[in-house]
Structure 1
Amino acid sequence: MSTKVKPAPLPPDTVIGGYRVIRRLSAGGFGVVYLAVDAEGQQVAIKEYLPSSLVARAPGELLPKVPPEKLSLYRLGLKSFFEEGRALAQISHASVVSVLNFFRENETVYMVMNYLEGATLQDYIITARDLKGQKVFRESTIRSLFDEVLRGMRIVHQHKMLHLDIKPANIFITDDNKAVMIDFGAAREVLSKEGNFIRPMYTPGFAAPEMYRRDASMGPWTDIYAIGACIYACMQGYPPNEAPQRQDKDRLALALAKLRGVYSDNLIEVVEWCMALDPLSRPQSVFALQKELAREGERRYTKLTVAEKMRLQIDNLVSDTKKTVQKATAPAAIGAKPK
């Protein structure tokens, strides 16, 4: 097989676990999400574990075909997907996608979730950005939105789970204006540890620096970095630079400085705090971050003076020139291993 064919989704009207499939909603590297109805005709979303890099399935078939050499990896992911379902089923919070049921069938696992109507934060950011206003979102909107998300995240962390893929596309805003975290990819985490997998297991811009290193320990601070990056995206309309780029040359403070006067100093500081490259310099718990985000009180808006703006530009030029000179004059290391 030279060209990789994606495994076919279940056909409409297939009945699994007493639910009838209506249509496919979405598909990612780890599975397919369907719109389905239960016995009472209630709409639900069903996620099927079907990793496109490990299985094949012909149209109209139910059973995924797993080549023998990929079986152990497939089972590992399956176990992890099952654990994710079991863990999420114990969490009942308005800001966390609710798992109503999960079951084994067709030699795979299905997770039944409440079907949400609305759009992702990513959709909202793109729409707002295209309207070209001075602000992508109002500060009050950002604070109340992330207050909701953090309430859910606090419960998730209390259950000893990490999300590890928080990004605007995984924050869903329902039609009745509730923010819900979706797509808890615990399966991703396990699969990424097992040798080099099909794609990077992190989303550039939202993944903390420790996610790029195999030996680093993840914790609440890893999700908190991603929250900071999401707030940044709500302010700028674009994701921040990737962590490895930032470690090379960090333009975060510069990008945020340009938002002074548009957003409060406090909100800008919160983003810098969450997105510190050193995990120990970030808020260590959701609670610490919640306290800071909820701080009402008078908000300072410090506009940059013309002199400050010029200084920022000069600083930028100087550091860019230094970089170029260093690169040009760096002696080639003899016998050094290529990175």
Structure 2
Amino acid sequence: MSSPKAKPAPLPEDTSIGGYRIMRRLAAGGFGVVYLALDRDGQQVAIKEYLPASLATRAQGELQPQVAPEKLSLYRLGLKSFFEEGRALAQIAHSSVVTVLNFFRENDTVYMVMNYLEGASLQEFIVTARSLKQDKVFRESTIRSLFDEILRGLRVVHQHKMLHLDIKPANVFVTDDNRAVMIDFGAAREVLSKEGNFTRPMYTPGFAAPEMYRRDSALGPWTDIYAIGACMFACMHGYPPTEAPQRQTKDKMALSLQKLRGVYSDNLIELVEWCMALNPLDRPQSVFALQKELSREGERRYTRLSMAEKMRLQLDTFVSDAKKTIIKPTVPAATGMRPK
């Protein structure tokens, strides 16, 4: 069995690029590496380097990525998209959208310089909150104010004829001074997935709209709106929703949301259902339409489930959990063995 390909090495600490000094690696994903760096005035910035792990390699201590000749055209296509994304983001000034201070080419790749944010991702908050095992993962007022802020930023992004294409709790950053900021746009990822012969989906399961799995589908504001609905769902449920391809086979979304009746208002539950409609035409077609609905605070109704309905839901959950237990391997996965 062949071993998995090693990830390209990050830039060495203390490397100087474009007038910035690399301090350390902050994060790495399939499409790039984010570093903490200092500018000429000693101010902290975050620098994102375009470095798709599926197309490029880089040895420890090296600066330049190595790309196989047959992957070069795809690498350059993603590079161009990443550069254009930086240029477009640099024109957006909104507190809920990551600020791009500079972007430049060096070492046969592109670097995007952004303001360095201190705080934690929404994903980290969800994991902490669900561990408390309370009825509500977050209070409804918290969810409404958080997404009101995010939607203000997303509306500006869409007005600039851009899409985010990778909205998920890990890409919503809550700063120490209580701002919600969208980070890590997915334009380069989108270009590469449409062009390359990738065998695995390049999206985060549960947050990607169904049309992102099909090459011939039109993407638009409705695609980001699906992801917003999925993020709201995660804030209410504590876990991501079922991924779109599975939902198209057997959709349990209504059942999952039904369990939240009485915990969250009918209005919020219906809003999530609207955003996460499998058919793009059944979703809000613009951020403005969604904002209008989200701000209708006066219409909060709570459906109190009858005892019979609660018992039915509990029974459904029990049956579903029992099925999971039945198909669980009885031999520890670490041994590499599987039950016969």
TM-score under structure 1 normalisation?
A: 0.90
Alpha-carbon distance in structure 1 between the residues aligned to 2:57 and 2:287: 41
Aligned to 1:144: 145
Residue 234 (structure 1) aligned with residue 228 (structure 2): no
Partner deviation per Cα, 1:228-249 (whole Å, 9 max, x = no partner): 0100000000011111211112
Aligned to 1:117: 118
Shift of 1:62: 1.1
For 1:238, what is the secondary structure of its paired residue? coil
Alpha-carbon distance in structure 1 between the residues aligned to 2:297 and 2:29: 40
| 1:268 to 1:7, Cα distance in 2 relative to 1, 3 A | same
Shift of 1:291: 0.6
Instruction: Trace 1:1-339 onto structure 2 (pairs within 5 A).
Output: 3-197=4-198, 199-309=200-310
- Aligned partners of 2:98 and 2:114 also within 8 Å: yes
- Aligned partners of 2:259 and 2:313 also within 8 Å: no
- Aligned partners of 1:265 and 1:300 also within 8 Å: yes
Shift of 1:315: 8.9
Partner deviation per Cα, 1:13-60 (whole Å, 9 max, x = no partner): 111000000001111111111000001110000011111121121111
For 1:297, what is the secondary structure of its paired residue? helix
Q: Which moved more, 1:243-252 or 1:11-20?
A: 243-252
Aligned-partner residue type, residue 118 of structure 2 = E
TM-score under structure 2 normalisation?
A: 0.90
Shift of 1:201: 1.7
Partner deviation per Cα, 1:91-117 (whole Å, 9 max, x = no partner): 110000010000011111100000001
- Aligned partners of 1:53 and 1:198 also within 8 Å: no
Aligned-partner residue type, residue 64 of structure 2 = L
For 1:210, what is the secondary structure of its paired residue? helix
Shift of 1:307: 3.1
Aligned to 1:334: none
- Aligned partners of 2:48 and 2:111 also within 8 Å: yes
Aligned to 1:337: none
Partner deviation per Cα, 1:128-147 (whole Å, 9 max, x = no partner): 00111111000000000000
| 1:199 to 1:247, Cα distance in 2 relative to 1, 3 A | closer
Percent identity, please.
82
Aligned-partner residue type, residue 47 of structure 1 = K
Aligned-partner residue type, residue 200 of structure 1 = P
For 1:192, what is the secondary structure of its paired residue? helix
Alpha-carbon distance in structure 2 between the residues aligned to 1:126 and 1:314: 26
For 2:67, what is the secondary structure of its paired residue? coil
Shift of 1:264: 0.6
Structure 1 unpaired stretches of 5+: 318-339
Alpha-carbon distance in structure 2 between the residues aligned to 1:10 and 1:288: 44
Q: Which moved more, 1:63-72 or 1:184-193?
A: 63-72
Shift of 1:7: 1.4
| 1:131 to 1:316, Cα distance in 2 relative to 1, 3 A | closer
Aligned pairs, how many? 318
Partner deviation per Cα, 1:136-171 (whole Å, 9 max, x = no partner): 000000000000000000001111111111110010
- Aligned partners of 1:170 and 1:182 also within 8 Å: yes
Aligned-partner residue type, residue 194 of structure 1 = E
